Chains A and B, each alone.
Chain A
């Protein structure tokens, strides 16, 4: 359906309302592979307001990570338009508009935890004294105070991922882009980190884009759930999800929670996510 055309650079949209932190219009991305073109993203339309917590959910191959990478300017769309903070993703990246959290903690093994959090600050030319105070502040934020001098291998997987969140927050970006950050962790650690992330979000008021393939995780965390489906990667449905700001894990037993989780599951089914 998508015609493979020359790849124009995504246009910035000066007329986008400034309220929308992310604005995606008719965006498509086709990967050229040896087996022919793959429609990774097809006709994506999405608007994200400042301060929202938006989850992308869907099975493997639905393009949720690709969409996140397009927002982060780590992939270039084939067609369509996207603006991030009213700029092109490239400009936004150059202005350091977002902190990115990968599937793995991706800490540099030769740097201490403090050194890893210092990394973006060094790259951005933050003076040494201020670096020290920001490291301390952000370690505090993710409950890792006192671990500054440890090396990554001395920490558990969950602690490493918290350190990588502290690193993403250290330069105080407007946005946090998270690509299945807790996917590799066990469920007990994951529940705990979900609660902590929610508190962090409430405290920092950042816009968070969160890629996941866990329905409870998406419903628990989000204000908006983007249900995606594969082949071609597209948005099937966008579900509003507002369970109040004071959420604890107990909320997952409530009828409201189960109702939204059910809608997400139905959305995934109608998007053929459960087909063989």
Chain B
């Protein structure tokens, strides 16, 4: 009951509002084409007919939600997942490089944070570079990186995963530096009175104390990894992946296909973030966080 009141109703309301807006824009944006058609045929078109037509165009400026839903249904359920026309196939390609890049990025971020927290020198020397690294417009130069890596025979999953890694290590590194430094002085003093080693202080205090920070940064990192993977797929000659699907759609003016790919990407991101949220809940429960 609480779940319905606290989640279903508010989220559902916003979803309905978005759908209503979407339909409204679809009608407005697709109407000029219908009017042109009517004018060219020297006929007039009733408002009812106009609205009906705007929602059933083959290459609409903005496809209506149900057209996108139908495209997703067709490319997910009707077409075999091994086919290159299947959205599941392309989603799978993007997902694998997202997860690979996210995994590397998280690991790299955690390792950097550990190094920074334990060494003043590294704190002073690494931290500015970590921040500078994100001022490079990686999304803009990602296609070039892919092309360069392809030229030295690094192809397939790895180059895309590297873009994801580059984007995702940052939130994890920054979040974990904060998390590993979050224990109170009293908690650290306590370890000192036990004459605990640095490793013990890390495993028994810093690491568990940093868990909330880790999951928050991982949520950001996984979403940005997906963006990195999609951008990485754009220049590979539209071979495979959500990015390739977007590019191919825009070559041939297949707006429905583009939107289907976009919605699929958004759903994937939502599912990935929710999975990390679920992990966080499970860990929190084990760590006795007050519900």
Residues of A at the B interface (CB closer than 8 Å) are 72-74, 93-94, 96, 98-100, 102-104, 106, 108-112, 119-120, 122-124, 151, 153, 171
Contacts and interface: CB of A to CB of B under 8 A. Distances in A.
A134 B195 CA distance: 20
Contacts of A96: 194-195
B288 A123 contact: no
Contacts of B74: none
Contacts of A104: 186
Contacts of B192: 73-74, 93
Given A93-B195, A119-B204, A110 B190 contact: no
Given A108-B205, A119-B204, A123-B196, A102 B190 contact: yes
Contacts of A98: 193
Contact of A123 (B187, B191, B287, B289): B191
Nearest to A99: B193
B36 interface: no
Interface residues of B, number: 21
Given A93-B195, A98-B193, A106 B187 contact: yes
Nearest to B183: A108
Contacts, number: 56
A106 B196 contact: no
Contact of B186 (A102, A110, A122): A102
Contacts of B191: 123
Given A110-B287, A123-B200, A153-B290, A74 B193 contact: yes
Nearest to A106: B186
B32 interface: no
Contact of B288 (A93, A112, A122): A112
A46 B202 CA distance: 37
A94 B205 CA distance: 19
Interface in B214-273: none
B186 A120 contact: no
B20 to A, nearest CB: 44
A103 B209 CA distance: 20
A74 to B, nearest CB: 6
B195 A106 contact: no
Contacts of B288: 109-112, 151, 153
A122 B189 CA distance: 17
B78 interface: no
Given A106-B186, A123-B200, 19 more contacts: A94-B195, A96-B194, A98-B193, A99-B193, A100-B190, A100-B193, A102-B189, A102-B190, A103-B186, A106-B187, A106-B190, A109-B287, A110-B208, A110-B209, A110-B289, A123-B195, A123-B196, A153-B290, A171-B194
Nearest to B192: A74
B184 to A, nearest CB: 7
